[in-house]
Amino acid sequence: MTLQEHLSNKTAPKRMLALDGGGIRGALSLGYLQRIENILRKQNGNDKNFRLSDYFDLIGGTSTGSIIASCLAIGMSVDEIKNMYMDLGAQIFAKKYKWWKIFQIDDLIKAAYNEKPLEEQLQKVFGDITLGDADRIKTGLCIVAKRADTNSVWPLINHPGGRYYNSADGMNKDIPLWKAVRASSAAPSYFLPQIIDVGGGLSQAAFVDGGVSMHNNASMQLLMVATLQGFPFKWKWGADNLLLVSVGTGMSRWKEIPENVKKNNILKWAQQLPDMFMQDASWNNQILLQWFSNSPTAWEIDGEIGKLENDYIGNVKKDGGLLTYLRYNTWLDADTLNPLMNKTYTQKEIDGLVEMSNADSRFELYDIGSKCAAKEVKDEHFADTFKL
């Protein structure tokens, strides 16, 4: 399908795919996505040319999720992305700044990793494609980044009707796709910020990782882009009208001894805060989306509100909720992984899987995602309502 075909007929059922950030843990997402692609390809006659860009009308993501989302949007298969991603991960997290390179001392203070391998690989994948390239971007695309100089979240979209797509206030259509993805992936302390011309040569903006916001889990941002009147999509609400599929990158489970928490020093808190904030934001998105829907993949939130089985906004008995929502993710802890992978994990090994820059874990993370997907992602989740 083409971008125009996806964006036309606003009253037809629409399908969205949202991909979380999480560094190299994006390999876990790919395990889920391979299962989703297999199910949908089978649903569409086992056409070997079928791609997720044919099915989803809007694909978006944050950080590593934006890399995968953009690859899907230009028509790559999950297998093609997997091969690229494994090579990409090995390169971008291999070259830290060296303490003895005095001429790089300013960059060393600002970021742990040299951004050049990341930029080179993104340019290799996306070439000269721009955000406004309707011939090569085959479906709606939303790249979630954070503009650091104004402290505002920027959903960079490729819809020609967007407020900042092509106007005196912004020329987002001319942004190279690789730069948009690099901006969304510029995790503070990992990589330097990305400077992008957003005003036809007249205005510069400094971007950092979209995960430094409420949208490391990009689901709510995509839903807002799809339905709020300020955006050009303006898709219709309803369980038979909107499908939102959300894929995570795995989660660490917090089990701290209170006395040990009390002993945390400033450095320890600094290391923990990003994960704490990202998990809080993701769970908040999860609560809202389960509140909006009657999801067959609902998660247990906590002991008080459970899965929100009886808490829905909208008349669920009548119309099924405000949308159809599917969330796929897994815990990265011993209780989950030991039976899943048929091995006994040490805490050190689990910490290695959780660490977002540990490229050595990428193949195992993919296998974890694949095994989880085999159990969690079911054919019936993709109802006839949303068939092509």
Contact 295, 311 (CB under 8 A): no
120 φψ region: left (φ > 0), alpha (ψ -120 to 50), beta (else): alpha
Contact 152, 141 (CB under 8 A): no
**Of 184, 209, 219, 361, which residue is the catalytic one?**
209
Active site residue 70: no
Q: Which token pair is 67?
A: 């890399």
Beta strands in 151-287 (DSSP E): 152-157, 194-197, 204-209, 242-247
Active site residue 213: no
| Short-list 181, 215, 194, 196, CA closest to 74 | 181
Instruction: Return d(Cα 92, Cα 11) in angstroms, integer.
Output: 42
Instruction: Return d(Cα 196, Cα 208) in angstroms, integer.
Output: 11
| Short-list 70, 49, 50, 51, CA closest to 59 | 70
Length of the chain: 388
3-state secondary structure of 77: coil
Token pair 């509100």 in the structure block, residue? 305
Instruction: Return d(Cα 94, Cα 88) in angstroms, integer.
Output: 10
Contact 260, 341 (CB under 8 A): no
**Of 29, 63, 70, 295, which residue is the catalytic one?**
63
Tell me which residues are annotated as active site: 63, 209
